[in-house]
Every structure is written in C-alpha cells, then in structure tokens.
C-alpha cells in the first residue's frame, strides 16, 4: 500500500509518497500552477511515476495546500449574496468597528465579502434561548429568491440571529432557496458554526459561500484526474484542525481548509512527538518570508476557534469561526532582509527577498542582505552543496550584501552576519515565548521540533535560548507539511455555545449536549456506531462575570469538585491567579472526534556497523559570535548511525537543509531516524 500526500504551496507543490511494503520513499517538487493548482499536483505525480511510483498501488491520498486561502486572498470567489434577519444586513459591513491602528486618523475598515445591495433581509426572530419571537416570513424568502435570480447570484449564505441555538429558521430558508434555485450554492451559518457572535458567524458563512462553488469545482476536477490515474480512494483533504476529511465533506465547508498546509506540519509534529516519546511539543516551521509556531500538548494541537484572516497590526482582518490549529506567525524567515532603521537600529524583516530575486548569494540579482546570506557568511551553509548542489551560492555577493549593514554599524562582516542572525532569532524567540510562557507553559517541559528549509540552521540556538528538553530535526524537514498530512487522521470538531452553572443540573446539560455531539460525529463519519472513533470532549469554563473562557478536558464521570479543581488549576496556569470559591459557569462544549485509522509508520533504523569517519564529509569554520571562528565537523545525515552520541559544534548536512549544533550540545540520530540535539 502506498500513502501519498501533495501539499500545494505558494511557489512549489510538494509530493511525498511512502510504500509501506518496500519502505521506499518518493519525493517530488513541481512548480505551483496558480490558475489551476491541480495541474501542478499532476506534474508532481508524473515526476514520481518516472521514478517508479505506480499509481494503482496508492490507496491513501491526502491533498492539502493554499487553494482556499488563495481564492480568498485574491478575491477569486463567485457573486455571493447574504440573507439575514430583518434589521441586520449591515452587521457584515460594520464588523466590530474597532481601530487597531490607533493613531492612524485616516482609518478604514475591511471591505465585506458581500456588497450591500446583495445583502437581503427577511422577517424572523429568535431570542437568546432559541425561542421563536417572530416566525420566518416565507413570503420574504420568496421575494429574496426573485432578487437572487435577477442578480444572477451564484452562491448564497444565510445567517439569522441566535441560529447557534436553534437553526430551524436558517434550515427552512435554505430549503426554500435550494428548491427554487437548484443551481445556486447555498449554505447556512449553523451548518458551519454553532458558536455565538453574529458578526463572526456572518463573516464565516459569507466567506464560505464566496469560495464554495470554486472549491467544489476544483475538488471535482482533482477527483476526476486522480481516478484517471487509477489512484485508489478515498481521497482526503488536509483540514485546518490538524485532521483530514473526505473530499465530499470539505466541499460542504471549504473554509475548514483555510490553513491546510501549516496544519499538515502541525499534525506531523504531533506524530513525531509521539514517536520519540515527547507528547508536549513546540513546533516551529521556518519558511522564506515568515516563521510559524504552534504548541502541541498531550500529542494534540491546540485549536483556535476564532481565527482572524488578513489580520495585521493595522487591520482587524476577517474573523472566521472554523477550527484552526493555533499558529503564531512572525515576519522573519530565511529570505528576510536585514536593514537599518532611521534610529540606526539593525532590523530583520518583514520584507523578504522571497524566491525571486532571493537572497543575494543566489546570484539572481538580489543585493540586500538576508538571513540566508548571513548563514553563508558565518560558514553554516556550504556554497557548493546547497539544494543538493543544484544552486551554487556566491559567498562574495553575500558578503557584499552583509557589508551594507556592517559598515554603518562599524562591525566586521562576520560580526554583522552574526548580529543579523541574533536579531532574527530574537524575533522568533519572542513568538515562541508567546505560545508558551505567555500562555502558562514552561518551554523546559517541551521538545522543540523544527522544520522548513531554514529551520534546522536556527533550531539549536532557539532551543538553547528557550531551554527546551531537546531540539528535534525530523526526517524530511524540507517537505514536512506533506509528510505530516500522511500522519493525520480523519477528524471533526464540533462546538456548541452552552450556558450552565457548574452544578448537577449544569453537568446534566453538558452530558446531554455531548451525547448529541457524539451522535453528530458518528453521523459525520457515516458509521453505524461510535466504534472506531475516539472522542476528546472539552468544556469551556469561566468565573462568572468573565468574558473569556478557559478550555479544560471533560470526563463524564468527573465530580463537580474535580471539574472545579481542574478549572482553577488551568486558570492559574494561564493567568497567574485563580479565584477558588468564586462562582464558575460553562460557556461551551467542544468535541474532537477522530477515526482511529492507521497512519504512516516510521521504520526503525537498522544498526549497522558504523564508523564516524564514513559519516564525516569534511570540516568547515563557522563563526559563532563570542567564540569567533570555530572548526566544525561536517556530517552527512544519512550516514549517521542511530543512538551514537556525538558532540557539537558540528554541522549535519542533508538533501534540503543543514543543521547547526552548537558548542556544548550533544546530538544523535534516534532509532527512528530523527536528529535529536540535547543540551550539554
């Protein structure tokens, strides 16, 4: 059986396929085709076929990538309408009315995804408990249908107030529209989110409707192409929640694919953590322009159910209520440009040289110094052995670029390069602290897993600064998101906004809702019973009077006292204080359901007779700050033997990247081929 994953990125489409019988691995990279991304996917498959992949043997396929986020970013959706409760069609446009750009006295708000003349209202109203105050006026719906027809609308979202408690009016309205306009794509807010906050739910359904027809078409094309290649199904898509779902499921709620690519990496990190016996992981992926970090606790990625798209320091962005792995992104990556600001301070990023022209050392016309140039100047990178020797790096061009900051700072070129790295690392460390220390998690309890082309060069220093237990460079760090997709399981997350006191009655309500959610999950997986599924229920709780809640694991058997203890401890951990004895209430239930399918296995390496001299490719001088130029052994990763401890400083080279190990650190390959760096 062959497991195959494709990850469509901004520049490249990665493919990874693993033949479980032979242990053979296929890796391919094609250029991403922006107009129809399925072309690039098929290119990558064709490349692998040339290397002997037989598509008929593929029986597990995951597809992930940037398709949905691109359609949104480039506003390539369809003509979309929104039907709302009478009196509330402007909620989508008003948003939350905030000005994050405080001192900009020419502020503007994000443009809504549905223009005002396509936002239609119908008479109907529920109260906060879901009781009907005003029946749905079906004549209003019919009037809307006429407008939709006249306006040649291709997709419609429906959002009514308090539908998170009672979706009946939305469902009835959707049924009427679907019946009258079978060719129009229709979705309701409650089909995608059962959480409160009307703007966020309105925006979720509007954006979902906006991309749905395009995504449906895309997946249909892909399916046809896969079938033609005789790839066996079912075909899965990588969702943003760290799990996968069948194609026919994701086209119902395409917005769940919004962070598909990064989520693959997070799923992979969770899996690697399990393999090496580290359930608590800090995952860090360094790309060309940005770096992303996520926290994984008990082998489970943390989810963010209020995800903000296109949020920047100056724009509130668009909030969507779909489960997305909690990712903190910083504008510092391998291509980030170093510069000196008007204060005379050295800064790195957020501008990036990207892949064109790329860092100065690529010799493709880039003249500004980047993190990659700094790595070359300090000797971490081998100019003749970058990207498997396909690209020769030019050290002189890198030095010339770094001199642009070295001269005004009155530093030597290597000291300036080191300074660039320190500033870049500091930005990354602050982001890593944001997801750990600032949320009450001590990095000393965590393992740091680093991926991405530039990640392994930086990992050892970051791990040292954060004092993590160990730093792990997984196998295939360059195509780790795709690898992670093979490690993900079919998964669904269902949320309900529910209120109740933490008492017998409240717990009874939670149990009843949970039973309902479990039934929903069983239905989602189209199973007769819950056999083969694992359920992880959580409840959100807060002290009465608070707005924000803390999520804690919920056990049906737990007593009130246990639950309160768990909550008080979680609150104290996250916010440095708790208020035992204060009234506590439930605000939501979250069920994470996962099918217990097999995932990619990681073979144990054989322990052959090994000699260090075989693994050493040579020596290189690396500039390590205060220690100056230090002689480092250069190892070939594929020739390291498992469980043999080696000492830093050292460089470990592999096809797509180079790992730097610092003086005083130890490192080894573990039994599963993971490169592990330990503090001295």
Partner 1 sequence: MDERSSIHFPTISGELPDFDPVTHEILNGKLLAIVDEMAIVMTRTSMSPVIYEVLDFACGICNKDGDLIAQTNGITLFTGTFGVQVKSVIDAFGDTLAPGDVIVTNDPFSGGTHACDFAIVRPIFSGSRIIAFAINIAHWLDVGGAIPGSLPPNANSVFQEGLRLPCIRIARDDVVIEDILKIIRGNVRLPEMAIGDFNAQLATVRIADRRVSEIISRYGAETLELTFRTLLDESERQARAVVAALPDGVYNAVDVIDDDGVGGDPIKVQVTVRIHGDELEVDFTGCPTAAAGPINCARGALNSAVKTIFKALVSPHEPSNEGWFRPLKVIAPAGTIFTAEMPSPTGWYYEGSVHASELVWKALAPIVPDHFSAGSYTSLCVTYISGRDASGDLFVHIEPEHGGWGGCNDRDGASGLIALTDGDTYNYSIELLEAKFPLLVRRYALNTDGGVGAGRYRGGYGLVREYEICTDDAEIYCGFGRTDTPPWPMEDGQPGSVNYLEVLDKGGLTERLGRSPTRAVRRGDVVRIVTGGGGGWGAPSERSVDAIASDVCNGLITLEKAQKLYPHFSTARAN
Least distance from C-beta 251 to partner 1, angstroms?
28
Pair 478, 232: CB distance under 8 Å: no
One character per residue 423-442, x = contact with partner 1 (rule: CB under 8 A): x--xx--x--xx---x----
Q: Please identify which residue in 311, 422, 489, 666 interacts with partner 1, judged by CB under 8 A.
A: 422
Across-strand partners of 386? 391
Q: Please identify which residue in 39, 59, 115, 223 interacts with partner 1, judged by CB under 8 A.
A: 115
* Short-list 258, 323, 312, 316, CA closest to 112: 316
Least distance from C-beta 491 to partner 1, angstroms?
27
Stretch that binds partner 1, among 161-169, 253-261, 386-394, 645-653 (CB under 8 A): 161-169
Q: Which is nearer to partner 1, 344 or 606 (CB)?
A: 344
For the segment 444-503, give every residue that binds partner 1 (CB under 8 A). Answer: 499
Radius of gyration of the chain (CA): 26
Which ranges in 276-412 belong to alpha helices (H)? 371-377, 395-406
Least distance from C-beta 228 to partner 1, angstroms?
44
Q: Please identify which residue in 1, 25, 31, 128 interacts with partner 1, judged by CB under 8 A.
A: 128
Q: Please identify which residue in 419, 472, 539, 669 interacts with partner 1, judged by CB under 8 A.
A: 419
Q: Which residues contact 248 (CB under 8 A, 6 or more apart)?
A: none
Copy the structure tokens of residue 325: 């792995």
Least distance from C-beta 61 to partner 1, angstroms?
39
Q: Please identify which residue in 107, 131, 139, 597 interacts with partner 1, judged by CB under 8 A.
A: 107
* Short-list 248, 191, 177, CA closest to 495: 191
Q: Please identify which residue in 95, 157, 474, 484 interacts with partner 1, judged by CB under 8 A.
A: 95
For the segment 545-564, give every residue that binds partner 1 (CB under 8 A). Answer: 545-548
Please tell me what DSSP assigns to residue 364: S
Least distance from C-beta 571 to partner 1, angstroms?
8
Q: How far apart are CA 61 and CA 7, in angstroms?
A: 11
For the segment 323-342, give every residue that binds partner 1 (CB under 8 A). Answer: 337, 339-342
One character per residue 580-619, x = contact with partner 1 (rule: CB under 8 A): --x-------------------------------------
Q: Which is nearer to partner 1, 535 or 543 (CB)?
A: 543
The DSSP annotation for 596-629 comes to -------PPPP-----HHHHEEEEEEEE-GGG-E
For the segment 174-233, give every residue that binds partner 1 (CB under 8 A). Answer: 196-199
Q: Please identify which residue in 21, 23, 74, 105 interacts with partner 1, judged by CB under 8 A.
A: 105
Q: What angle do CA 196, 198, 202 make, to 5 degrees?
A: 115
Cα-to-chain-centroid distance, residue 587? 26
Least distance from C-beta 223 to partner 1, angstroms?
38
For the segment 345-364, give every residue that binds partner 1 (CB under 8 A). Answer: 345-347, 350-351
Position 73 contacts partner 1 (CB under 8 A): no
Stretch that binds partner 1, among 14-22, 103-111, 295-303, 531-539 (CB under 8 A): 103-111
The DSSP annotation for 210-255 comes to HHHHHHHHHHHHHHHHHHHTT--S-EEEE-TTSSEEEHHHHTTSGG
Q: How far apart are CA 71 and CA 92, in angstroms?
A: 19
Q: Which is nearer to partner 1, 145 or 419 (CB)?
A: 419
For the segment 228-247, give every residue that binds partner 1 (CB under 8 A). Answer: none
Stretch that binds partner 1, among 32-40, 100-108, 185-193, 511-519 (CB under 8 A): 100-108
- Assess whether the previous peptide bond of 234 is cis (omega < 30° from 0): yes
Copy the structure tokens of residue 10: 């901004």
Pair 629, 623: CB distance under 8 Å: yes
Position 505 contacts partner 1 (CB under 8 A): no
Q: Which is nearer to partner 1, 438 or 515 (CB)?
A: 438
Least distance from C-beta 368 to partner 1, angstroms?
7
Least distance from C-beta 91 to partner 1, angstroms?
6
Stretch that binds partner 1, among 255-263, 300-308, 415-423, 501-509 (CB under 8 A): 415-423
Q: Please identify which residue in 25, 31, 407, 603 interacts with partner 1, judged by CB under 8 A.
A: 407
Cα-to-chain-centroid distance, residue 420? 27
Task: Indicate the burial class of 230 (C-beta count within 10 angstroms; 0-12, 13-18, 19 or more).
Answer: exposed
Three-state DSSP at 127 gives: coil
Q: Which is nearer to partner 1, 360 or 669 (CB)?
A: 360
Stretch that binds partner 1, among 73-81, 486-494, 540-548, 644-652 (CB under 8 A): 540-548
Please tell me what DSSP assigns to residue 391: B
Q: How far apart are CA 163 and CA 132, in angstroms?
A: 11
Stretch that binds partner 1, among 59-67, 91-99, 607-615, 627-635 (CB under 8 A): 91-99
Position 116 contacts partner 1 (CB under 8 A): yes
Three-state DSSP at 314 gives: coil
Work out whether the CA dihedral 371, 372, 373, 374 comes out positive or negative: positive
User: How many CB atoms sit inside 10 A of residue 440's CB?
Assistant: 14
Q: Which is nearer to partner 1, 71 or 92 (CB)?
A: 92
Total residues contacting partner 1 (rule CB under 8 A)? 79
Write the CA distances from 601 to 272, 450, 452, 472, 475, integer angstroms: 10, 20, 21, 18, 13
Least distance from C-beta 395 to partner 1, angstroms?
21
Stretch that binds partner 1, among 70-78, 126-134, 261-269, 554-562 (CB under 8 A): 126-134
- List b or e across 129-156, with b for residues whose CB sees 16 or more CB atoms inside 10 angstroms: eeeeeeebeeebbeebbeebeeeebbbb
Least distance from C-beta 352 to partner 1, angstroms?
11
Least distance from C-beta 499 to partner 1, angstroms?
7
Pair 667, 642: CB distance under 8 Å: no
Least distance from C-beta 541 to partner 1, angstroms?
13
Least distance from C-beta 466 to partner 1, angstroms?
13
Pair 273, 284: CB distance under 8 Å: no
Stretch that binds partner 1, among 27-35, 106-114, 203-211, 235-243 (CB under 8 A): 106-114
Q: Which is nearer to partner 1, 43 or 585 (CB)?
A: 585
* Short-list 494, 600, 535, CA closest to 62: 600
* Short-list 242, 280, 240, 572, CA closest to 439: 572
Q: How far apart are CA 192 and CA 651, in angstroms?
A: 48
What φ, ψ does residue 251 adopt, rounded to 5°? Answer: -70, -15
Least distance from C-beta 463 to partner 1, angstroms?
17
Q: Which is nearer to partner 1, 5 or 346 (CB)?
A: 346
Least distance from C-beta 627 to partner 1, angstroms?
16
Q: Which is nearer to partner 1, 197 or 229 (CB)?
A: 197
Q: How far apart are CA 440 and CA 574, in angstroms?
A: 4
Q: Which is nearer to partner 1, 105 or 561 (CB)?
A: 105
Distance spanning both ends of the chain, measured CA to CA = 42
């Amino acid at each position: 059986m062959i497991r195959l994953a494709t990850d469509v990125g901004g520049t490249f489409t990665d493919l990874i396929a693993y033949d479980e019988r032979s242990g053979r691995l296929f890796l391919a990279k094609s250029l991403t085709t922006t107009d129809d991304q399925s072309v690039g996917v098929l290119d990558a498959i064709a490349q692998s076929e040339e290397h002997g992949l037989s598509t008929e043997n593929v029986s597990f396929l995951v597809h992930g990538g940037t398709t949905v986020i691109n359609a949104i970013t480039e506003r390539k959706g369809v003509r979309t309408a929104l039907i709302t409760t009478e009196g509330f069609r402007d909620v989508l446009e008003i948003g939350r009315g905030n000005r994050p750009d405080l001192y900009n006295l020419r502020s503007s708000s994000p443009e809504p995804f549905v223009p005002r003349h396509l936002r239609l209202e119908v008479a109907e109203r529920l109260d906060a408990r879901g009781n009907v105050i005003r029946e749905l006026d079906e004549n209003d719906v019919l009037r809307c249908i006429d407008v939709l027809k006249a306006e040649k609308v291709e997709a419609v979202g429906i959002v009514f107030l308090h539908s998170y408690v009672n979706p009946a009016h939305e469902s009835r309205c959707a049924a009427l529209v679907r019946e009258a306009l079978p060719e129009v794509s229709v979705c309701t807010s409650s089909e995608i989110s059962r959480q409160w906050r009307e703007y966020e739910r309105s925006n979720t359904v509007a954006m979902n409707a906006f991309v749905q027809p395009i995504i449906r078409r895309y997946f249909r094309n892909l399916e046809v192409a896969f079938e033609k290649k005789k790839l066996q199904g079912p075909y899965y898509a990588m969702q943003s929640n760290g799990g996968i779902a069948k194609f026919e499921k994701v086209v119902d709620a395409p917005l769940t694919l919004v962070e598909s690519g990064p989520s693959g990496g997070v799923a992979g990190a969770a899996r690697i953590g399990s393999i090496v016996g580290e359930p608590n992981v800090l995952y860090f992926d360094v790309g060309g322009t940005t770096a992303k970090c996520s926290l994984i606790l008990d082998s489970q990625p943390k989810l963010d159910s209020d995800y903000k798209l296109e949020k920047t320091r100056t724009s509130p962005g668009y909030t969507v209520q779909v489960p997305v792995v909690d990712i903190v992104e910083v504008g510092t990556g391998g291509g980030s440009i170093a510069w000196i600001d008007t204060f005379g301070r050295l800064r790195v990023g957020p501008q990036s040289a990207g892949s064109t022209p790329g860092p100065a050392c690529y010799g493709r016309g880039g003249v500004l110094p980047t993190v990659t140039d700094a790595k070359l100047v300090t000797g971490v990178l081998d100019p003749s052995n970058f990207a498997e020797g396909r690209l020769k790096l030019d050290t002189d061009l890198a030095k010339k670029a770094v001199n642009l900051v070295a001269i005004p700072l009155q530093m030597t070129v290597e000291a300036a390069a080191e300074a660039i790295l320190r500033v870049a690392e500091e930005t990354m460390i602050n982001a890593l602290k944001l997801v750990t220390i600032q949320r009450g998690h001590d990095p000393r309890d965590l393992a740091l897993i680093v991926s991405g082309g530039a990640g392994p060069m930086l990992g050892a220093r970051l791990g040292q600064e954060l004092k993590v237990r160990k730093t792990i460079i997984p196998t295939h760090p360059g195509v780790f998101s795709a690898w992670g997709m093979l490690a993900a399981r079919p998964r669904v997350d269902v949320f309900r906004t529910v209120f109740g006191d933490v008492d017998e009655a409240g717990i009874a309500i939670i149990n009843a809702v949970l039973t309902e959610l479990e039934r929903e999950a069983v239905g989602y997986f189209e199973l007769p019973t819950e056999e083969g599924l694992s359920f992880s229920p959580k409840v959100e709780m807060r002290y009465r009077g608070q707005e924000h809640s803390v999520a804690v694991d919920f056990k049906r058997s737990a007593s009130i006292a246990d639950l309160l203890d768990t909550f008080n401890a979680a609150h104290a951990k996250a916010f440095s204080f708790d208020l035992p004895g204060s009234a506590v209430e439930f605000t939501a239930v979250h069920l994470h359901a996962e099918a217990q399918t097999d995932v990619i296995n990681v073979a144990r390496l054989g322990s052959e007779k090994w000699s260090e001299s075989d693994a050493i490719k040579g020596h290189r001088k690396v500039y390590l700050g205060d220690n100056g130029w230090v002689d480092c052994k250069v190892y070939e990763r594929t020739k390291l033997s498992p469980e043999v401890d080696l000492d830093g400083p050292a460089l470990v080279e592999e096809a797509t990247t180079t790992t730097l190990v610092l003086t005083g650190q130890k490192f080894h390959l573990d039994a599963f081929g993971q490169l592990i760096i330990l503090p001295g």
